[in-house]
Amino acid sequence: MKCFYLKDFASQRIQAGEKLIRLEDFEAPDDIKDAPEGMIIFITDRSHNFKGQAFVGRQNKGFAWVFSLNLEDLWSKELFSIYFQEAVERRQSLLDDPTTTGFRLFNGEGDGLGGISIDWYDHFIQINWYSKGAYEYRDWWLEILLESPLEVAGIYETKRFPIGDSEKAMGHVTGKEAQQPLIIKEQNRKYAIYLGQDWMTGLFFDQREVRQYIQEQAKGLSVLNLFSYTGAFSVAASLGGASNTISVDVANRSLELTKENFLINQLDADNLSNEIRIMDVFDYIDYVKRSSKDFDMVVCDPPSFARTKRYVFSALTDYIKMAKDLFKITKAGGLCVLSTNHSAYSKDKFIEDMNEAGRLSGKKVQLIQSFRLPEDYPSSVDPTSQYLTVLVYYCSE
């Protein structure tokens, strides 16, 4: 086993619970920079005190993931099994809940092992690999999943790291193939899921609590859902009795996928009560401002970065300006639900910025509720781990 020294501040961070090691955290980065993916290393401080064990798995700015602070732990299928078993136990209430058949089963470093996430779609499994290092141990994971008492019907995977031209980035791995779409339930809302076909499967489980909140608040309200993708928030609002919803997304695929989600929930997809607009959100906001329309509830869940033909959006720099407009088009007595999944946008900074947007809008706005990641997305103390913040503002005159 090879030993590598970390700089002082880095070994303190690891001691405090952070799992991600960057190349520049090592005293001698040149000694390790060419290490093979998946290699296991011991890390120590400069005085040779053992600090933990890690595996090499390059992803974004990260280089390796700490998987244990104990000298005795052996990197093995048994260790993976223990982490997986603990993750399953943490989700027992979701597994026992017949109204929810889709959720995150294993959340990378938050469940003890970085570089991988595993989602549960009604007995079908979707694995996301974020580094080649994590992927090196694919066989252990597949065995553990197939041997588990969860009754896994089939497994799909998506490789979110650079791969060769001849390799497939996503697809079916083993077991039965899922119906396309596979219908899963989330607190009895139904959603159509397509496994193995796209980078996104149709639903982001991390917004479950927000969808539930929207469903509970929406009775009688006109709801505008921006960056709507498959209309998951609109479906929740409509099930909650919204008077009408408008879903706006620039991607053509959103039209059919959103209609389908309304239809499987026995909701109108006739473009009157649940309208779907395939267009740029920023053009739509301009149109709403020009026509002096306003809404009882505005939901906005943009990607961290987006580039369309006419606009470039970066959450960190452009959210304030967009939120100012969103407050303007929210009726007095209405709600504005603002979400960011940018890990560098801290909750405090996001609140500060949205308060500023409120001031700029000339409306009186009040933060009344906030959401972070739900229980099936446990996080580590790494700064990138708690990436989601959703703020609910009440708007008055």
Residue (50 or 311) nearer to ligand SAH, CB: 311
Residue (153 or 306) nearer to ligand SAH, CB: 306
Q: Look-up: residue for tokens 């959006």?
A: 313
In contact, 111 and 378? CB cutoff 8 Å: yes
Find how far residue 90's CA is from the centre of its chain.
Answer: 18
Residue (82 or 251) nearer to ligand SAH, CB: 251
d(CA 36, CA 181) in angstroms, rounded, equals 39
Least Å from the CB of residue 300 to ligand SAH: 8
> For residue 253, what are the contacts with CB-CB under 8 A and spacing of at least 6?
none
Binding region for ligand SAH (CB under 6 A): 204, 207, 227-230, 232-233, 249-251, 254, 280-282, 301, 303, 306, 308, 311
Least Å from the CB of residue 6 to ligand SAH: 37
Least Å from the CB of residue 349 to ligand SAH: 21
Least Å from the CB of residue 307 to ligand SAH: 8
Least Å from the CB of residue 188 to ligand SAH: 17
3-state secondary structure the chain: CEEEEECHHHHHHHHCCCCEECHHHECCHHHHCCCCCCCEEEEECCCCCEEEEEEEEEECCEEEEEEECCCCCCCCHHHHHHHHHHHHHHCHHHHCCCCCCEEEEEEHHHHCCCCEEEEEECCEEEEEECCHHHHCCHHHHHHHHHHCCCCCCEEEEEECCCCCCCCCCEEEEEECCCCCCEEEEECCEEEEECCCCCCCCCCCHHHHHHHHHHHHHCCCCEEEEECCCCCHHHHHHHHCCCCEEEEEECCCHHHHHHHHHHHHCCCCCCCCCEEEEECCHHHHHHHHHHCCCCEEEEEECCCCEEECCCCEEEHHHHHHHHHHHHHHCEEEEEEEEEEECCCCCCHHHHHHHHHHHHHHHCCEEEEEEEECCCCCCCCCCCCCCCCCEEEEEEEEC
Residue (308 or 386) nearer to ligand SAH, CB: 308
Residue (204 or 394) nearer to ligand SAH, CB: 204
Peptide bond between residue 162 and the one before it cis (omega within 30 degrees of 0): no
Residue (113 or 235) nearer to ligand SAH, CB: 235
In contact, 153 and 139? CB cutoff 8 Å: no
Residue (66 or 354) nearer to ligand SAH, CB: 354
Residue (44 or 369) nearer to ligand SAH, CB: 369
Q: How many CB atoms lie within 10 A of CB 177?
A: 14
Least Å from the CB of residue 303 to ligand SAH: 4
Residue (41 or 338) nearer to ligand SAH, CB: 338
Least Å from the CB of residue 121 to ligand SAH: 15
Least Å from the CB of residue 67 to ligand SAH: 31
Residue (192 or 250) nearer to ligand SAH, CB: 250
Least Å from the CB of residue 61 to ligand SAH: 23
In contact, 245 and 274? CB cutoff 8 Å: yes
Least Å from the CB of residue 164 to ligand SAH: 28
